[in-house]
Amino acid sequence: MPDTHPTPTPTPTPTAPGGGLVPAPLSIDGPGSGTVRLGADTALAAGTGTEGTARWLRDTLGAAFGLPLPPGSGKAPDTLALAVDPALPPEGYRLAADARWGVRITGGGPAGVFWGAQTLRQLLGPQAFRRAPLTPGCAAVLPEQTIEDAPRFGWRGMLLDVARHFLPKDGVLRALDLLAAHKLNVLHLHLTDDQGWRIEIRRYPKLTEVGAWRERTKLGHRASPLWDERPHGGYYTQDDLREIVAYAAQRHITVVPEIDIPGHSQAAIAAYPELGNTDVIDTTSLKVWDTWGVNPNVLAPTDTTLRFYEHVLDEVLALFPSPFVHIGGDECPKDQWRASATAQARIAELSLADEDALQSWFIRHFDRWLTDRGRRLIGWDEILEGGLAPGAAVSSWRGYAGGIAAAKSGHDVVMCPEQQVYLDHRQHPSPDEPVPIGFVRTLEDVYRFEPVPPELTAEQAAHVLGTQANVWTEVMDSQQRLDYQVFPRLAAFAEVAWSRLPAPAARDYQDFTRRMAAHYTRLDALGVGYRPPGGPLPWQKRPGVLGRPIDGAPPNV
């Protein structure tokens, strides 16, 4: 799991970033007058703790340049040497390129070595991001220089919503590669919602037999008159998820699973109607939801429901070693609980004040359950309502306020305010933006996002574990649409999460755009269908599909 608090600033003095690197490193000494060439004779010397990065380098740089990178001792002059030095921060690294001996990457830990290797890949140009050499015998060349670097935050994440639109396993593995290329280290995988259940639970097979499939899908915003009449669905087998978790771990990325409770649960209720409020509605009539919004059908606060989700989470914990498990807790309408004799009896039995307190009881139950098993609960900021679960961490999505309140009360926070870093929001006010949702959040807006509110003291700010960009997929029904919404803004977000930037107004956006000119060529080599600076290409537009644009600047709440 990533470090849970910001890494102390290392000793090098920051200098103006250069080399087209994204995110910007802490310091660069150079480039010098000479160059370092990695060729057929270059050996790869992997010290203890760096073996995983050595394998990754052979798979990537070896393939891109046709380099064998045979094992070496590190004593030959033409060497790519990897080593661990605990004196550096755990995710920090030093990359030194010198024509006299080659390249040395030293990390404070295995993760630091890996992030240094990602920087090396960027320094070698867009060719390093291809899967085969463009010309036989092409050289990998970089200028002499020394780079010292370490991240600002230990949690540098992206939420990927695979519940609304399912992304096949290969797409998730591709997303992990893209996160790693930007030095992001958390994938928050949103696995369940009203529109689909995406994780195989062997004890309850109907969750995927029934809950993973919907009959049709709303096209665009929920007010749109258009429908895609094709059935939609899919799920990950437990072996798929083991593969995803292992692939992520090789890239020093933690996969945090989300099982949404007690709201956003219609897919589960459609599979197992006893989970719903059966004394209020006929839950046997419910199907996997085919449209978007806040759904009124929520879990019943019964012992049956608690035992069911404990069994689900037993299997989740066996698949995901993440210290954190996300249980949602957001957008849970209380109307059915108000009308339910069963829910009201539970409120009376527990001497609770109201339905908000009933939701808090629900969350606290799973907080204790996870704590007893050595894990930590994290949930959306609604878990603050009715009393914050002890030991729980908060994903602050409705703005900064929930995160501020949680940090001030001594709880850990991941900042992901929708007004700033929801990447489903549109990137430009132009009517050509495909399915425009929400506020305009340009590349510059994301670059000027600051995760730590100024209201927090230094002690309170230490509870900000980091930050996360959220990718909700109601209107993203393909990899092409995902690429367009996520990039290039994820590159700006990655710099916010990694680099020690000045205050938002003082950030050098022009320098960032200069470095992005080089970074676009890397994204091109990777085949990423990002939004071009000049606007969408013809095939990226979605004319006639209704969105929900919101005018004006987003509130700072």
What are the tens digits of pLDDT across the range 444-468? 999 999 999 999 999 999 999 999 9
Pick from 394, 409, 376, 367: nearest CA to 466:
394
Q: Which residues are catalytic?
A: 193, 264, 331
Roughly what angle, to the nearest 10 degrees, separates helices 169-181 and 110-123? 80
Query: What distance lies between CA 336 and its chain's CA centroid?
Result: 33
d(CA 116, CA 496): 18
Which is nearest to 293 in space by CA: 218, 198, 228?
218
Residue-wise pLDDT tens digits, 390-420 = 788 999 999 999 999 999 999 999 999 999 9
Whole-prediction pTM: 0.96
Specify the pLDDT at position 299.
98
Mean pLDDT within 502-530: 98
pLDDT tens for residues 366-399? 999 999 999 999 999 999 987 777 788 999 999 9
pLDDT in the model for residue 555: 92
> What is the spatial distance between Cα 257 and Cα 326, in angstroms, rounded to a whole number?
6
Residue with the larger pLDDT of the pair 319 and 390: 319
Strand order in the sheet with 93-98: 27-29, 145-149, 93-98, 102-107, 79-84, 43-46
Is 429 or 10 the better-scoring residue by pLDDT? 429
Mean pLDDT for the chain overall: 94
DSSP percent split of the chain into helix, strand, coil, nearest 5: 35, 20, 45
Which residue's structure tokens are 């993760």?
Answer: 111
Radius of gyration of the chain (CA): 24
Averaged pLDDT for residues 240-259: 98
More confident residue, 181 or 14: 181
pLDDT at res. 2: 52
Task: Report the C-alpha gap between 530 and 519 in whole angstroms.
Answer: 11
